[in-house]
Amino acid sequence: MGTALIILAAGKGTRMKSDLPKVLHQVAGAPLLIHAMDSGAALDPERIVVVAGHGAAAVERAAKDRDDTAEVVRQDQQLGTGHAVRMARPALDGFDGDVIVLYGDTPFIRPETLAALAAARQVHDVVVLGFEAADPGRYGRLVTHGDTLERIVEFKDADDHVRAITLCNSGVLAADAATLFDLLEAVTDDNAAGEFYLTDVPGLARARGLSTGVVRCPEAETLGVNSRADLAVAEATFQARARARALDSGVTLVAPETVVFAHDTVIGPDTVIEPYVVFGPGVTVENGALIRAFSHLEGCHVSRGAQVGPYARLRPGAELAEDVRIGNFCEVKNALIDAGAKVNHLSYIGDAQIGAGTNIGAGTITCNYDGVFKHRTEIGRNVFVGSSTMLVAPVRLGDDSMTASGSVITRDVAAGDLAIARGRQENKPGLARRMFEKLKAAKAKSRKGA
């Protein structure tokens, strides 16, 4: 029997004070919705249905970018969580497995917790996810007997005895599809808000003699994002977990609190990360690399033994082979740097391939953009590129070639050749002194006139 996910993502998020749908605000470089989808993906679901409302087109694009098999349905009127789940029914027509309802603004439910929820479905007809709250506040309370859920009581309906309960309702629920949708048909909007609540489902299930259960998880997993302050808390929570995982996996973080990870950062053991390094999405760093302070990496791959920084930037498409050196104030974009090559100082390498053992001198620039098109630079093995060389792409430097410092290279350089492309120097005796004297006199005159 398979599993389907229904992810509720229709809310506008008024408290965010943003035109962007709430579930598209980002934590660790990815929308909240994607975090929820990633958690659910561990169950290998047969179907994924995202219920969108505000900004539905943008929500659909994000969902499809993550998983093109996801189906997005619309909840044009926001009539409660039960109504939102009903909107998914046509998309699950003919599906007879289990359904787990998640929330697009709740990014931290662990795959292990969802697995426990799925396992509990073998015992109970309807299962909800609960958490022990340090400050239960106005959360709905779960009244239980062991792992059996007796009822959900909303705060406003609870007496003092029930309000003393600290086990709270997360809103996440699991049931088989037929049971869930059948129960939802019995949910009414007979409440102060005039909405259809998913939380009514367990009570209706028990009234029909069905078994209802509860799975518990840490409160931090159920953190929902409803405001910018919540978003900041969510970011801090993610980063704390990511740093702990990195340290546990054998990565050295010299100053852990200063390192920022993305949702998909992969770092191999024995890598050393110095302070104030930022990882954007799509970064893999292999074992034993060194990422030095104040570097920024995104969309790149760093191989074993490579060193990056300090103050370096690796942009999407940067591919560093083993033992490559990318030094201070260098930028690399869409370029393959082969083993042992060095780009050590103040250089820009874009849309290029650099062969093994090549040395790129300080201030070198691959001039890759003509205002309309991007062009490639190809540099062979064991090439020495002199400082302040401008490589006007498309251009190729053969193996073992060399460029003189200050050259502007516009033509290919054959293997073993030295290319010199700079103006002839002329010295004008005494001219500098005479010019300075003239300028100083003009400055003094202007001051008197003022």
The residues annotated as belonging to the active site are 345
Cβ(204)–Cβ(150) below 8 Å: no
According to DSSP, the β-strands at 359-360 and 342-345 are parallel
Residues 6+ away with beta carbon under 8 Å from 366? 335, 348, 349, 350, 351, 352, 377, 391, 393
Give CB contacts under 8 A, 24+ apart, made by 16-22.
16/226, 16/227, 16/228, 16/231, 17/228, 19/55, 20/55, 20/58, 21/52, 21/54, 21/55, 21/58, 21/59, 22/54, 22/104, 22/105, 22/225, 22/226
In sign, the C-alpha dihedral spanning 98, 169, 53, 194 is positive
Q: 258 to each of 255, 282, 342, 354, how far by Cα in Å?
A: 6, 19, 27, 32
According to DSSP, the β-strands at 148-153 and 141-145 are antiparallel
Tracing tokens 């969108």 back to the chain, one arrives at 52
Residues 6+ away with beta carbon under 8 Å from 436? none
Q: 5 to each of 72, 205, 213, how far by Cα in Å?
A: 12, 20, 19
- Please classify residue 406 by burial: count the beta carbons closer than 10 Å to its beta carbon, then call 0-12 exposed, 13-18 middle and 19+ buried: middle
Tell me the DSSP string of 339-352: TT-EEEES-EEEEE
CA distance 262 to 298: 9
DSSP class of residue 425 equals P
* Of the candidates 330, 301, 306, 305, the residue with the CA atom closest to the CA atom of residue 318: 301
Q: Which amino acid is located at 283 in the chain?
A: V
Q: 292 to each of 104, 307, 326, 384, how far by Cα in Å?
A: 36, 7, 10, 25
> Euclidean distance between the first and final Cα of the chain, in Å?
90
Tracing tokens 């007496």 back to the chain, one arrives at 159
Q: Which two tokens stand for residue 392?
A: 């006007």
- 75 CB-side CA count, 13 A: 27
* Of the candidates 317, 313, 288, the residue with the CA atom closest to the CA atom of residue 301: 317
